[in-house]
Chains A and B, each alone.
Chain A
Amino acid sequence: MTAPAPVLSARDLRIVYRAPGAAAPVPVVEDVSFDLHPGRMLALVGESGCGKSVTAAALGGLLPRGMELASGRIDAAPGVLRAGRGLAYVFQDPGECLDPVFRVGRQIVEAMPPADRRHSADRLRALLVQVGFHDPDRVARSYPHQLSGGMQQRAMLAMALAGRPRILVADEPTTALDVTVQARLLRLLADLQRSGNLAVLLITHNLGVVAEVADDLLVMYAGRAVESGPVSLLSSPRHPYVEGLLRALPRLAPDAPPLEGIPGQVPALGRRPAGCPFHPRCPLARPGCATAVPHPTRGPAGHTVACHVRAFPSPSESTP
């Protein structure tokens, strides 16, 4: 399967945190690679502290103070890697991202490139309609507190689109929203991505959301990519962590199996174990898992997994 040229490609990202006064930097993200394609949505999935938001922030040069990209490459077409222009972000809490003292319309116009500002009123109306508002003029005149959470998030989306981005990074965009509002926003994201040929990087902890809208998936655990590939891999995951996550997910189906948590907890930054980061919680762990870091192995259809026990056989072994 040969995909069209990616609009952004990240290779072997290693992000470290240097605490003030600390001797050695602490690794936050290690060996994470992915491609973003126009018109496709990649979901970065993981629990809190797995490094998914930091990875996304690194793309736009928005790493928080103390963190730096220690090694790895981010390649993209010229002009893409500029936060607010080629690359736009939507964050979890829209109430914190909108300025409470300016009208929503003015804030969206501010995000437009100069060429669009000449006819900003038309463009503003078009953007607000595009994100699903039936009364764009009223919304444009509103202050953020006059809108509900779901409306604020759609206004944020309009602001992100105002810069005519090639890539949209949506960091937990629906986590603060109710399910019925979430459903509407997800549908909107999927529409924008297909019709606008936008590359979307969706960051989420919710596997249900991933299964619903994403095309590809990258699961992270303790700063490392453990499994990646097309979303269909969720029906036959290889990595024990991904299996565990799916078993821990409460289902609505009538024949839902009993819930199984994953014993233990996500290791804290700086206390990540040697070897495979998941081995202390892994039901399949073998002695070797505690010493050597598993590297991603490739399987069919772009499916990769980083696990000693469930590795794909390497081509030389599989061909007789």
Chain B
Amino acid sequence: MAPAAPSPYPAAPADALAIERVSVRYPIRRGVFARVRGAVHAVEDVTLRLAPGETIGLAGESGCGKTTLGRAVAGLEPLAAGRIAIGDRTLSEAGRPLRRTRADRRRIQMVFQDPLAALNPRLTACDLVTEGLAEHGLLGGETREEAAARLLAEVGLGQDALWKYPFEFSGGQRQRICIARAMALRPDWVVCDEVASALDVSVQAQVINLLTDLKARHGVSYLMIGHDLGVLRHVSDRMAVMYLGRIVELGPADAVVDRPLHPYTRALLAAVPVPGGPRGTARKVLRGEPPSAANPPPGCPFHPRCPLARGECRRAMPGLAGDAGHLVACHRAGDAP
């Protein structure tokens, strides 16, 4: 298991969100007695530090564990290993029940992909965005209407939105309500799970620009989870690429997109169709399918699909290494593509 170290976790800046060697596993139960017969290794040994005010983009394809990691950060999944902390305040830890204090929960909020599913259909926009404020006793001197009007105005919705129900809004407006609700509690971090994927292109850009504005205004940090590398590049300071539960590349967003080091990142970028890009058969296409997270291959998780794989890739798991803050987990990162 984890190698013994004098202090399990290196010191982090006092107010950073530290994800320390986190693993999340889902048990696989089989048979009449539902015995645990294995585990899906959704997130494996992920370490990530988010400085205050920094946005990290978490990229990867379906099933790579990016959403699970986001849910773990928001306190919605118990950890199988590692811990999540802000400064020296531990929020989640392996082997500890998944309970956070009210004050801890306020600091990390989450916005989900499908706003219609995330909003209670029987509450008005006013109730939806101020429910948390009332619960946390943060209304100050304001009435709920005043607070709601102020919060909705911040996300570009007018007074007429106050007494409407979720079904009366368009997809983009619903996502704005979800964002207003997350921002209401003045969190330090907001986990945004594919917030723009369900929206039309013209509206998607509005929502992304809104998130950027709110960050500039309130200094909030985002953990942006997404599969669209173009979107992530626009909003992120740093970007992490996940494959089969592990971070395979981490670095400044521009560096990861312009000078990718991991063969998987390169394949992912090459697969994005862009106007003006190469047409039809002119590009390289990644072969095979991602392996099952219940039964990950030995060695580097990407080796069965990797064009550069050789002997050691099948045996040893590469660690994240690199300089200038651009890290890659690949035995062959130094070699030419």
Contacts and interface: CB of A to CB of B under 8 A. Distances in A.
A183 B276 contact: no
Interface in A247-300: 247-254, 256, 259-263, 265-266, 268
A92 interface: no
A262 B273 CA distance: 22
Contacts of A261: 202-209
Contact of A208 (B269, B273, B283): B273
A262 B202 contact: yes
A187 B205 contact: no
Interface stretch (B30-38, B136-144, B158-166, B228-236): B228-236
What is the interface residue range for chain B against chain A? 35 or more
Given A208-B272, A254-B258, A259 B205 contact: yes
Contacts of B276: 211, 234-235
Contact of A250 (B203, B230, B279): B230
Given A212-B277, A261-B204, A261-B206, A180 B230 contact: no
A179 interface: yes
A182 interface: yes
Contact of A205 (B171, B201, B254, B279): B201
B200 A205 contact: yes
B272 A246 contact: no
Nearest to B201: A248
B193 to A, nearest CB: 16
Interface in A171-185: 178-184
B280 A183 contact: no
Contacts of B258: 254
Interface string A140-159: 00000000111100000000
Give the dominant DSSP class at B's interface. Answer: helix
B275 interface: yes
Given A212-B280, A254-B254, A259-B208, A244 B202 contact: yes
B286 interface: yes
B269 to A, nearest CB: 7
Give chain A's interface secondary structure class: helix
Interface string B23-64: 000000000000000000000000000000000000001100
Given A234-B275, A250-B234, A187 B202 contact: no
A235 B276 CA distance: 8
B274 interface: yes
Contact of A266 (B200, B257, B269, B270): B200
Contacts, number: 139
Nearest to B171: A48
B61 A179 contact: yes
Interface string A177-220: 01111111011001100000000000001111111110000000
Nearest to B60: A178
A252 B269 contact: yes
B289 interface: yes
A180 B205 contact: no
Interface string A232-246: 001100000000111
A158 to B, nearest CB: 17
A93 interface: no
A47 interface: yes
Interface in B237-296: 254, 257-258, 267-281, 283, 285-286, 289
Interface residues of A, number: 48
Contacts of A254: 254, 257-258
B209 A187 contact: no
A252 B268 CA distance: 12
A204 B226 CA distance: 20
Contact of B273 (A183, A244, A247): A183
Nearest to A193: B280
A187 B281 contact: yes
A142 to B, nearest CB: 14
Interface string B283-316: 1011001000000000000000000000000000
A194 B62 CA distance: 31
Contacts of B227: 178-179
Interface in B185-229: 200-209, 227-229
Contacts of B230: 249-252, 256
B82 interface: no
Given A179-B61, A183-B283, A47 B274 contact: no
A206 B173 CA distance: 21
Contacts of A206: 273
Nearest to B288: A180
Contacts of B209: 259-261
15 contacts: A47-B203, A149-B62, A179-B227, A180-B271, A182-B273, A184-B286, A187-B281, A191-B281, A207-B275, A248-B205, A251-B274, A256-B230, A256-B233, A261-B205, A266-B202
Nearest 4 CB-CB pairings of A with B: A250-B230, A261-B206, A261-B205, A208-B273
Interface of A: 47-48, 148-151, 178-184, 186-187, 190-191, 205-213, 234-235, 244-254, 256, 259-263, 265-266, 268
Given A178-B227, A206-B273, A250-B228, 15 more contacts: A47-B202, A48-B200, A178-B62, A179-B229, A207-B201, A208-B272, A208-B274, A235-B276, A249-B201, A249-B230, A256-B233, A261-B203, A261-B209, A262-B205, A266-B170
